Amino acid sequence: MEISSTASSSIVGKLLEEISWEKARDYRKGGQGRENVLTAEVLVGLDFLPRTEFLGGVLRSAHGASETRSVVAAEAEELRMHFLPGDLRLGSGNYKGQLFVQPDAVFETPSTYTLVEAKRIRYGSFQPEQLAREYVALMSNTGASKPVLLLLGVTPPLRVKGYGLLEIHEAVGHFLGPVLERTGDEALPPESELLKRIPEIFCWISWEELNECIAQAAGEHSALHPSGAASVRRIAAFVRNAIVWHG
């Protein structure tokens, strides 16, 4: 496993980098209710808790993309977690008006590539083209790996600004054509194929379900040394407290 040489590549470091671009006063009271803070606290815990039981358990309890999601869960111990990885390009060409997205996280395992989009607990909503852009970005960057798009903290139908509540297929399908047209990358699959593949690529889990997964895994976990078991319980409690506090 590679050890990063820069603080900014850690979850805490990336969160601080993100905050530096925003108004500091928005993070008073510990950033309560802020999407990035909640996501960072949850992913920090899932990064350090025993992967097969905790992160794997969360993935196994999610909905949608069952085949590939099970592969991600099976490879959880080898998963590389990139929080706030920065700009992710749509398409591979150097075309005019190139589009980018900024996912909340990217998970990489030996055979999968997962783009993670998280939403705050209260009133989280998507921009009109957001899911279509993230879908195209995922397919542009996944290479030979199996693609997954994980929606963290939401349950369909999804709230899309200006469009009310939409199912995932609608939230993507309404905007996929125009996004592909502006992307201008003929190497991408056609719109019809991308629409057909939505059920095998998109998955989701609510914050409440994630909280329950952590509680169950902590209750079932056993360690050879009492100190190790106590450490697992503390980290699990940290994740669960973060979900409750931000809610």
**Model pLDDT for residues 92-126, shown as the tens digit of each residue:** 755 556 789 999 999 999 999 999 999 988 777 89
Model confidence at 186, pLDDT cuts 50, 70, 90, reads: confident
What pLDDT sits at residue 67?
97
How confident is the model over 43-70, as a mean pLDDT? 97
Whether 112 is in a domain gets the answer: yes
Whether 218 is in a domain gets the answer: yes
What pLDDT sits at residue 93?
59
Whether 210 is in a domain gets the answer: yes
CB 111 within 8 A of CB 145: yes
The residue that leads in pLDDT, 65 or 3, is: 65
Model confidence at 7, pLDDT cuts 50, 70, 90, reads: very low
Whether 164 is in a domain gets the answer: yes
State yes or no: pLDDT of 214 exceeds 90.
yes
Mean pLDDT (the chain) is: 90
Whether 133 is in a domain gets the answer: yes
Q: How many domains does the chain have?
A: 1
CB 204 within 8 A of CB 158: no
Whether 3 is in a domain gets the answer: no
Whether 21 is in a domain gets the answer: no
How confident is the model over 193-222, as a mean pLDDT? 96
How confident is the model over 229-236, as a mean pLDDT? 93
Model confidence at 202, pLDDT cuts 50, 70, 90, reads: very high
Burial class (CB in 10 A: 0-12, 13-18, 19+), 79: buried
CB 202 within 8 A of CB 116: no
State yes or no: pLDDT of 129 exceeds 60.
yes
Residue 84 to residue 80: CA distance in whole angstroms: 13
Whether 73 is in a domain gets the answer: yes
State yes or no: pLDDT of 223 exceeds 80.
no
Q: Which residue range(s) make up the domain with 95?
A: 31-246
